[in-house]
Amino acid sequence: MASHERQVTLHVYTFTGVGGRTNSILSSLSLGLHHSGVEVSGREFSFNDGGVFQTRPHECTRGDEPQCVLKESKFLGVHVGSTNEFNGVLNELRRAFPPGSYSLTGKNCNHFADVFCRALVGCGIPSYVNRAASYGRWLNFGNKGYQIGDGASSEAPKAKPAKADPNRSKKKELTEHQKMLLERIRNGATDKS
C-alpha cells in the first residue's frame, strides 16, 4: 500500500446567530462558543447529532444566512499513511461519535476535531476552542446545544429515540477512578485522563 501525505488543517468558526455580541465578548476572553472542522484532502470533517459528516471547506460560512464566520484556520501537520489507514481512523471515529450521541458539553464538534487531529498528526486543537464546553460540563449545562448542519440545512438531523433501559432507575456507584477525578475537579486540578 502506498503512503500519501495529507495536510491537516483545523478551521475554527464563531457562530453568527448565538447572541452574536455576547459571543463576541466571550470570544475575546477565550470563552466563546465555537464550531470546528478538520480539513483533509479538500474535505472538511465535523460532527453533529447526525454523526460524523463531511462538507466542502468553509461550507458553514456560505449561503443567504451563514451559520458561522471563520475565526481561524490553523495548519496542524501532515498525516502520512495509506488511504486504508486514513479511512480506518475515520471509521473508528464514526463508531466513537455515532448519530444521536452529540452533547454540547461532553461530545461536540470540537471534541471530535480534537480526537481526529490527535489520531492523524499527534496534536490536539487549541484549548480555547472548546473551553466553553469544559466550563459548561463543570456547571452541568447543555446537552444538544448549538450545532452546524451538514451543509444541506442549518438544523441537525433528528436522532432516533433510544430504547428504554430497565436498569436506568437503579442507583449507580462511581468507580474509584471516577471518584479520584471528581475529587481532583473539586480541588481545582485539571487532568485529561
Query: Per residue in 55-106, pLDDT tens?
Result: 999 987 776 777 778 989 999 999 999 999 999 999 999 999 999 998 877 8
Give the mean pLDDT of 121-138: 72
- Cell numbers for 180, please give them: 479520584
Vertex 12, ends 142 and 189: CA angle to 5°? Answer: 55
> For residue 187, is it within any domain?
no
Q: State yes or no: pLDDT of 164 exceeds 50.
A: no
> For residue 12, is it within any domain?
yes
> For residue 124, is it within any domain?
yes
> pLDDT tier at 16 (50, 70, 90 boundaries)?
confident
Total domains in the fold of the chain: 1
Give the mean pLDDT of 170-190: 61
CATH code for position 116: 3.90.1720.30
Share of the chain above pLDDT 70, in %: 59
Residue 16, helix vs strand vs coil: coil
> For residue 164, is it within any domain?
no
Give the mean pLDDT of 22-34: 56
Instruction: Identify the domain containing residue 125 by its residue range.
Output: 4-158
> For residue 118, is it within any domain?
yes
First-to-final CA distance of the chain: 35
> For residue 36, is it within any domain?
yes
pTM here is: 0.65
> For residue 138, is it within any domain?
yes
Pairwise CA distance, residues 193 & 136, whole Å? 19
> For residue 70, is it within any domain?
yes
Q: How many CB atoms lie within 10 A of CB 148?
A: 22
Higher pLDDT, residue 178 or 151:
178
